[in-house]
Structure 1
Amino acid sequence: MMSDAVEKILSWYESDNPGVKTNLARMLYHGKLGGTGKLVILPVDQGFEHGPDRCFVPNPPAYDPHYHFQLAIGAGLSAFASPLGMLEAGAATFAGRIPLILKVNSANLLYPKEGPKTQAVTATVHDALRLGCSAVGLTIYPGSLKSYDMFETAREFVAEAKDVGLPTVIWSYPRGEDLTKEGETAIDIATYATQMAALLGAHIIKVKLPTSFVEAHDVEELYHKGNVPIATLTDRIKLIMKAALGGRRIVVFSGGAKADEAGIIEQAKAIKAGGGNGSIIGRNSFQRSKDDAMKLLGALVDVYRS
């Protein structure tokens, strides 16, 4: 039986075919948060992005792809997202037990630092269908010299995935030659990144938690003149959700580098209070022991379910 929360969310996707809505519903009804309209997703693409040793030495069992399937299933999460090889390594063993999101592009730390920020396409929509995935996911870097190329890649993936009934998750991470490090998580840049992902056709948008720093002076003046509150994380989440087509798109927030459990729980409370749809939390889960990860993920689920 469809819940009011999920029915409302699905109504936002007015142009989408039944396949896309069915796969969105699969994720929204799966796991311990099923039917609430909230999501907690496990993403494990960091082995490509940062290297396996940086990611998995803190918790060596995490070198095994099956570990991540088991963690997502055991914690009752909404979905598991990863690049092609990791999903292929467990697709048959765990078939039908957790909705899968195929990450179709990736970057790597060995790429020259002076080069423009970009990602390579590493998988296809056909791969997602072959593996029984519920969605495809890809990253864009608003602000990069390669951002226009990435937008066009996103357009092609969104269109192809929609045609075969798959929703798209866009990781929208501002990075660029003229953007300060502090600006990458600035509230005005985060809302801009959210809006760009939404306008590219993303069904689910993944962004980093925004800070109260404002990168652009003209936007800072607009905030002051319009009495736009940005002091608390809840205030900033509300502004992010406005940028997501007035709250008509699902937005989940990145967990980032490993942090203390209490801080992560407080962030989740702010996400919920601000109207966000949940968390997509990788290193903060799989770099802990399985027992500690299960405890943390259980606490996150409790926040969003309460």
Structure 2
Amino acid sequence: MTAGLNARLDRISTDDRYLIVPMDHGLTMGAVQGLKDIEATVDGVTAGGADAVLTQKGVAPRVHPNKNGAGYIVHLNGSTTIGPDENDKRLTATAEEAIRAGADAVSLHINVGSTYEPKQIEDLAELTGEADRFGLPVLAMAYARGPDVDGTDPEALGHAVRFAEELGADVVKTGYSGDADSFEHVCESTRLPVVIAGGSKGSDRETIEMVRGAMDGGAAGVSMGRSIFQHDDPEAITRAVSAVVHEDRDAEDALRAAGLVQA
């Protein structure tokens, strides 16, 4: 691992723990709640303790002035909810373009088990080779998704995270299996830091209890989008997630510390 790679990993994490807030959903879903005024949302989540934010390259000028010194990740593929197939992720930028946009790392979405897996294997393998030349970390968003694939099955999730390691990623994001015990298998399937996706927005307690369970199962953190940026108070929910990820608090204590439940 090069000095440059280590330095950039440090920019998107704190003491090898990751709290990343992806906001590339503007491409996928449009200017939904939390993304119209992305400047305010970036300011709020980074003030609340996010280590890094993640977007597509085009909104980089709206991110940098508002990220309070946090890291920046550029996402390199995507699709839309109104297109023919949301699982068909197409390339949107290169590692070199991401660097020009000020990225500390890049990310790529892979649906392991989908009909698009063969092309996405090629895309991730090519990206990790290109990124390695620049000492640029790669976050692989490796989901278990496809016909007859259960996206919460720990065996399938374990395959997805190992897939990312085999192709040269540095950090891997995947779905949550539902409980700490089963998620241990997922984390033990790779030596990469594993971060969980947030999925659809749930209640504050559901969100924080999921984070606590993942951390208890061996996760290195979260990469959580809608549950944070669509929250009525993105800064507060980020503080609660940070209290679990970075301070090892239990769910109740984290919610209280963020002012999300009565003391």
| Match among 44, 53, 56 for residue 23 of structure 2 | 44
Matched, 1:295 2:262: no
Which aligned pairs between 1:1-306 and structure 2 lie closer than 5 A? Answer: 16-28=1-13, 34-35=14-15, 37-52=16-31, 55-56=32-33, 59=34, 62-91=35-64, 93-94=65-66, 97-113=69-85, 117-176=87-146, 178-180=147-149, 183-211=150-178, 233-244=179-190, 248-289=191-232, 292-304=233-245, 305-306=247-248
**Gaps in structure 2 of 5+ consecutive residues:** 249-263
Q: Distance in 1 between matches of 2:45 and 2:171?
A: 19
Deviating 4+ runs (over 3 angstroms):
none
Q: Distance in 1 between matches of 2:26 and 2:12?
A: 24
Q: Percent identity?
A: 26
Q: Cα 1:85–1:68, aligned 2, differ >3 Å: closer, same or farther?
A: farther
Alignment check: 8 A CA contact 1:81 1:103 kept: yes
> Offset at 1:293?
2.2
User: What is the TM-score with the length of structure 2 in the denominator?
Assistant: 0.88
Q: How many residues align structurally? A: 247
> Offset at 1:96?
7.4
Q: Cα 1:43–1:86, aligned 2, differ >3 Å: closer, same or farther?
A: same
> Offset at 1:108?
1.1
Alignment check: 8 A CA contact 2:45 2:235 kept: no
Q: Distance in 1 between matches of 2:37 and 2:220?
A: 29
Q: Distance in 2 between matches of 1:295 and 1:192?
A: 34
Q: Distance in 2 between matches of 1:298 and 1:122?
A: 31
Alignment check: 8 A CA contact 1:84 1:103 kept: yes
Task: Name the larger-Rg structure.
Answer: 1
Alignment check: 8 A CA contact 2:161 2:174 kept: yes
Give, as a single letter, the amino acid of the residue that structure 2 aligns with 1:167: P
Give, as a single letter, the amino acid of the residue that structure 2 aligns with 1:118: D
> Offset at 1:260?
0.5
Q: Distance in 1 between matches of 2:208 and 2:235?
A: 13
Q: Cα 1:206–1:17, aligned 2, differ >3 Å: closer, same or farther?
A: same
Give the CA RMSD over aligned residues.
Answer: 1.8
Give, as a single letter, the amino acid of the residue that structure 1 aligns with 2:238: L
> Offset at 1:285?
1.1
**Gaps in structure 1 of 5+ consecutive residues:** 1-15, 29-33, 212-232
Deviation readout 1:91-143 (Å, 9 max, x if unpaired): 3x247722100001001122224xx9321111111122112211000001111
Q: Distance in 2 between matches of 1:235 and 1:22?
A: 33
Alignment check: 8 A CA contact 1:66 1:89 kept: yes
Q: Which residue of 2 aligns with 1:217?
A: none
Give, as a single letter, the amino acid of the residue that structure 1 aligns with 2:127: F
